Structures are given as structure tokens and as C-alpha cells.
Structure 1
């Protein structure tokens, strides 16, 4: 197939393109300069010209708690516009298949874990990333609406858990937790710091999957797209505390200092664990265990970002 991939320069996009080398599909992977997803006319023109058989929408403005809290307008407006523009253009130009990448942050903040796919819009969102979550809910629902109006349109959504891996961002202002912790602990080791602070009590639980596993899943989904559920969680089905992630990174980096907790800082949702029952029924499971993934991510960080 000819597949248009948005967000090709992001962590997920780069992992998809790397795994794509093992497959026969042709990928269109325009940069944001070549295809501005915020410009609806440009998106329509691009899809009309290239006529892809499928679109994988992996583009987005992403970041951790700090970035979401500092820039809620950008996280809501840009992500929502990108989703609406690419989905409506694909539908208008008769693209038969669309794989939308959403996020587990669109599940209600007080929902019982594990979080099942039917919980969308069943409760209040987590305030620290509400703008991003609203945008993800919108594109997820739009896929459903397009399919409801036209059954021949296979427009479906996957809901990955938190991700980390090679090609991640390690900038402390924009990174997610695991890359941020890798950088923080590596710098603490180099500077011989005896202690590191953790936001909150460290007991909040998170589920992080190695991004290459998600890329592998996407090709499994492409091959089995007709039988894939409308909305599907993709993750491990198991989680760890923030404290356990810090310790796992410290083990890999070789840091032996101690951790102190800053109880004045926000922690986000207490737990965010996806329900993987439908994923198991779909016949797929992740491969990369936590410390193996952290080791590979740390090696990437040392190659790409370290001053050594």
C-alpha cells in the first residue's frame, strides 16, 4: 500500500519508518514544512495529489505535565486542528483506511483502572493535560462518526499507553517522564550529586511501552485492519510506580545516590493503566521488558545527546 504517515519526525514516526524497512509498503513521510497539518487546504491538496491508500496519523504537539500546564491553548488548538484537517481531508478524498493514534490521557481521571476502551467521555478529564486530551477525544470520535456515515471507511483509533524509546526528546522542558529521568540521573551521576528530587510521593503508577514495540504493533494492525476493533488500547497491561521507574533508570545508569520527594509538585493522575483484554483477543503482545528498553534508550541518549 501507499501509506501517508504524519509526524514522521517524531519518536513514534521515526520508529515506524525504521520498522517499515522490513515491510513492502511505500511510505509518504512529509515534514511539517512540506505538509502543514494546520492548513486545511494544504492537507486536502496533498492528499488529493498523492492519493494514499491509508493514512497513519502520528503527528501531535506532545510533552509532559510541565509543558501541558504551561501551554494549554497550543496543546488543545493545534492538536485538534491537525486531527480534524487530516481526517476530513482523508474522508473527502476517499482514502479508505485511516489509523488514528490517540492517547490514554483521554480517559476520565477518576475512572477505575485498568482503563477500557468504552470509558471515553464517561467522566471528567485530568486537568493537567485536559487540552491535549480534548483534542484526542475529538479525533477518536470523528473516526467513529466518519465510519458511521460511510461503512466502507475503515477509520480506527489506537490508544497507546505512555511511550519512551529511541528518538525520544530529552529536553527537560518538553520530554516525557522516562527520557527526563534518564537525563536527570545521568547528569546527577556525572556531577556526583548525592540526591535527586522526585515530584510528589512517587507512588503514582504509570505504564510505559518501548516505542519500537508500538511500531511493530502498527504493522501487525495494517495486516489485520479489517478485524481490528474500532478503538483499541495498545500497551503492556501492567504498570509501575514513579519510584520504581527512577530506580530502574538508576540501575541502568549506575547511579547510587538517594531520592527525595518534593510533595509541593503536581503528580497528575494517580494511575493510568490500560485494559489489554481486546489487545490480547486481537492477538498481539509487547516484547521489550522495562530495563531492556531503558538500556536501549540510554544508549541512544549517550550517542545523540551526551557531551562525552
Structure 2
């Protein structure tokens, strides 16, 4: 179906820098990077509320806020997120909280005629044994990874809601599926974070304390793709200005490394010189998760920040903010 704004066929182009731009989740890893990118790109009215100021699970509060601010553009970057342990321990929370956040924000955006919405999902939406690299059309073709299936189902629902709005209302809403993200404002909790920030904290603390060893979960053999949050933010703005289509767009680097290689790199960056051990009684998760980023490349965007550079920047940020960060 052709998307339209006020009955006129929609063609992607430069967004209005004077319009109100609502970033849901503007303090998080992705949201804060998007805010930085928008402000650096000349957007003068970027708005957001902290979770303490606005509970996105509260439908009436979300409708009131969106109705009051009347944004022209929305990026839905807010989500309850966590690593393998958190996802497998609290599946109800990850499903229920994320479903409510998404439905409330998307419904409020629709009720208030938001022109352009970008819904952000996660690469965990794809089947555990999807053919690598994973194409967008792999969605709903196989079983999910059991350790985070509840979170994945919520994100799949967000994609389908975005597609449904396009079909039923003809609005140019889109969705993007990032690979594993890292950078400033990440969650560095030892139990609730994703693999890379958890490793940064673990190795930095070991380097500081002079520990002889660090023990990581699993075998270290799974392969993962990592994208710096600032690259993700750049891709988000690019997609909003250059892409319009019903399919979600994968956002990544197009290359991956083993968890063992990541651990070795972080050890080097943090200055840890001890031994790395692997607890093979703990789960590895998906054996490989590499995204096919051909659609994104066709839209004219590629990642710019190398993994080594990105990790050095993230470790510096972590050390500068270690007393105030989440976790």
C-alpha cells in the first residue's frame, strides 16, 4: 500500500528541523544517542520524559503527554531490556512491560496524527537457527531463542503494529532492527546488562582490583555483531529521511566476532592481564547472530565506528561515569 500524509503520497526526505520530535526512552543507550544526533543535526525541539516523569506503561499518561506535545516525529526507543539471565528469569516482565509501552506509545501517536514513527526492535526477533547472515524475510520462519523469546515476541508485535498502521491508515511508519548495541548510557549491571557492557564492567573491576582471573558464561564460541549507539542513531535519522517501506530494516555492521575475541579485546582495552576462564555449565544463547544489512546499504548507509574504537570510547565513558551509571 502507498503511504501518504494528508492524502498526498509520501516521499522520504529531509525532516523538518523546527518540528517537535519525541524520543521515547531518551535517557537510555539508544535514545540518548538519538537525542545527541538530532540536536547535532539542527533539530531544535527534541522532547522526552524520564521514566520517573512519565510511566509509558500508563496508557492515560502517555495519551496525555503525546496530546500535549503534539510531535510530528516519534522514535520509540523505550524498552525493558536485559541480558540472558534477566530475560530467562523474568519473561513475564519483559513481555508485559514491553507490550504495554509499545501499544501505548504507538496508539497515542496514531490518535494524534504523528506523521513519521520509527519503531526500534531487536535482532532477537529472528529464529534461533536462522540462515546467516539473517535477512529481514527470516522473520516468523522458525523457533525463537528460548532465553529471550518473551522479549522477542513483544518486539515482533511492535513490528506488526507498525505494519498494520501502514495498511489500515496509510501512514509512513517504519521499523528498524538493530544488532547488539553498546556505548554511553548503557546498563552495566552485573546481572541485568547485555554481554558487552557486562564484560566491560567485569574486566575493568578485575583490572582495578588486580584480580588473577575473570570467569565468563558459556564457551566463548558464539558469534555476535556489535554496533556503537552513535552509529545506530545516525542510521535512525538516515532511515527516517531516506526509507519508506513495510519491512523492518536490519541495522548492523555486517561482520561479527566470537565472544572470546570480544573478551580478549576488552581485557586489552581495560588493561587486565590475568586469566580468562569460561563456565561451560552456563548457556551460550544463540550460536550466531549476524544481520544481513543489504537493505540498509541500499538505502545509502554503512557503519563508521570500528569495534576497537567503539570499545575504547565506551570504556573511557564507563570509567568517567562509574559512580553514577546504571547498575
TM-score if structure 2 supplies the norm length?
0.90
The Cα offsets for residues 142-174 of structure 1, whole Å up to 9 and x where unpaired, read as 1001101122x1111000000001111211122
Q: State the match for 1:260 in structure 2.
A: 277
Q: State the match for 2:85 in structure 1.
A: 66
Name the CA shift for 1:33/1:253 in 2 (closer, same or farther; >3 Å).
closer
Instruction: Report how far residue 76 of structure 1 moved.
Output: 0.4
Aligned residues: 305
Matches within 5 A, 1:138-177: 138-151=157-170, 153-177=171-195
Which residue among 293, 298, 301 is the counterpart of 1:281? Answer: 298
Matches within 5 A, 1:198-209: 198-209=216-227
Instruction: Could you tell me which runs of 5 or more consecutive residues in structure 2 were left unpaired when the two chains were aligned.
Output: 1-18
Question: Does 2:140 match 1:121?
Answer: yes
Instruction: Report how far residue 225 of structure 1 moved.
Output: 4.1
Question: Does 2:230 match 1:216?
Answer: no
Root-mean-square deviation (CA, aligned residues, Å) is 1.5
Name the CA shift for 1:192/1:33 in 2 (closer, same or farther; >3 Å).
closer
Asked if 1 retains the 8 angstrom alpha-carbon contact of 2:166 and 2:246, the reply is no
Distance 2:82 2:304 in 1: 25
Instruction: Report how far residue 184 of structure 1 moved.
Output: 0.8
Question: Does 2:120 match 1:111?
Answer: no
Distance 1:75 1:291 in 2: 31
Name the CA shift for 1:306/1:93 in 2 (closer, same or farther; >3 Å).
closer
Matches within 5 A, 1:9-158: 9-25=27-43, 26-151=45-170, 153-158=171-176
Instruction: Could you tell me which runs of 5 or more consecutive residues in structure 1 were left unpaired when the two chains were aligned.
Output: none
Structure 2 counterpart SS, 1:21 = helix
Instruction: Report how far residue 220 of structure 1 moved.
Output: 1.6
Q: Is 41-50 or 266-275 further displaced after alignment?
A: 41-50
Structure 1 counterpart SS, 2:40 = coil
Structure 2 counterpart SS, 1:9 = coil
Q: State the match for 2:316 in structure 1.
A: 299
Q: Is 263-272 or 42-51 further displaced after alignment?
A: 42-51
Which residue among 270, 274, 283 is the counterpart of 2:287? Answer: 270
Q: Is 247-256 or 292-301 further displaced after alignment?
A: 247-256
Instruction: Report how far residue 229 of structure 1 moved.
Output: 6.1
Question: Does 2:249 match 1:247?
Answer: no
Question: Does 2:186 match 1:187?
Answer: no
Asked if 1 retains the 8 angstrom alpha-carbon contact of 2:66 and 2:112, the reply is yes
Name the CA shift for 1:164/1:263 in 2 (closer, same or farther; >3 Å).
same
Instruction: Report how far residue 18 of structure 1 moved.
Output: 1.6
Structure 2 counterpart SS, 1:142 = helix
Structure 2 counterpart SS, 1:198 = strand
Distance 1:91 1:306 in 2: 40
